[in-house]
Structure 1
Amino acid sequence: MDYELDDDPARIDVDVVWRFMSTEAYWGRWRDRAKVERQLAGSWRVVGAYRADTGAMVGFARAVSDGVALAYLADVFVLAEARGGGVGKALIRTMIDEGPGADFRWMLHTADAHGLYRSFGFREPDTTYLERPGKQAPISEP
């Protein structure tokens, strides 16, 4: 099946994002729909993956950024029906390598996709990186 990637925020199917985030995303089930919608509205860039034949959204990624030097990749997912065909890799490539942030320092958190992200140059942080964890539900379930 063929897929199309698009960074038009108006094309994002908020219902698909909400459904995935509220039921399948181990990292995001603590958010209510209003928070998910605020995060979408405040994102620096969003990329959706769509079936070429129907236009239905089957994958998503978003980023927050200062627009100059650094960005944080978040909420990357591919619906089960579209997995295994390279959609996830295409989403990540489009977001970090083919857009306005291609030269940025990119950050992310993941509990289960280290190999995928390493293939794009992500690695464990060096000794200059510190983080203050948030107070929402901990991210521990892979």
Structure 2
Amino acid sequence: MEQFFNQYTITDDKTKMDEKTIANLLHQSYWAANRPDETIHQSIVNSTCFGIFDDAGNQVGFARIISDFATMYWLCDVVIDERHRGKGLGKQLVELIVNDERFRKLSGKLATNDAHKLYEAYGFVSDGAKYMQKSK
């Protein structure tokens, strides 16, 4: 799968994922700042991954899905390089994922401390804390 958004490309092609860039982005986050690189590698290997790339081919965004592809998915590690924030990339990435044929008929779950409004726009409902859920 490949989608174009302005000067960016979003893809789920794992061969294009830049693990060093992904690790750097995740190490700047509040949820994965101390996650070891080997754990990041294994999480990429064992998940469906989406990357955002600028027109020069540099990875500037990432998201990961864990799923049984039958009942539910867990959306995690959604991160956009701070130099590329404010351009709608996070919204485009989440919209692409929730509408993806593999996930759109499944229940979705995620955790966030600060992006509830983003996910509410795509059908996720807060439990009042950091967890959110989207029904089929």
Task: List per-residue Cα deviations over 1:82-110 (Å, max 9, x = no partner).
Answer: 11111101111111213411111000000
Which position in structure 1 is the counterpart of 2:13?
Answer: 8
Aligned length: 124
Residue 134 of structure 2 aligns with which residue?
none
Give the superposed CA RMSD. 1.7
Compute the TM-score of the two structures, normalised by the length of structure 1.
0.82
Residues 54 and 99 of structure 1: CA distance in aligned 2, closer, same or farther (over 3 Å): farther
User: Which protein is bigger by CA-based radius of gyration?
Assistant: 1
Residues 99 and 79 (structure 1 numbering): CA distance in 2 closer, same or farther, change over 3 Å?
A: farther
Question: 1:37 maps to what in 2?
Answer: 41
Structure 2, unmatched stretches of 5+, are 1-5, 132-136
1:137 matched residue in structure 2: none
| Amino acid paired to 2:22 | V
Pick 1 or 2: higher relative contact order, CA cutoff 8 A, min separation 6.
Answer: 1
SS at match of 1:95: helix
**Which letter maps to 2:51?**
G
2:8 and 2:101 mapped to 1: Cα distance? 18
In structure 1, the gaps of 5 or more residues are 130-142
Q: TM-score, normalization: structure 2?
A: 0.85
Report the alpha carbon displacement of residue 79 of structure 1 after superposing the two structures with TM: 0.3
Instruction: Give matches, 1:47-62, under 5 Å.
Output: 47-51=50-54, 53-62=55-64
Match in the other structure for 2:107: 105
Shift of 1:42: 0.8
Query: How far, CA to CA, are the matches of 2:107 and 2:86 in structure 1?
Result: 28
Asked if residue 25 in structure 1 is aligned to residue 34 in structure 2, the reply is no
Within the candidate set 75, 82, 88, 1:80 is matched to 82
| Contact 1:78 1:88 (8 Å CA) reproduced | yes
The one-letter code of the counterpart of 2:63 is: A
The 4+ residue runs of structure 1 with deviation greater than 4 A are: none
Distance 1:3 1:11 in 2: 14
User: Structure 2 vs 1, CA of residues 98 and 125 (structure 1 numbering), >3 Å: closer, same or farther?
Assistant: same
Q: Is the 8 A contact 1:71 1:107 kept in 2?
A: yes
Structure having the higher strand fraction is 2
Name the % identity. 30
**Which secondary structure state, in structure 2, belongs to the residue aligned with residue 108 of structure 1?**
strand
* 8 Å contact kept, 2:116–2:126: no
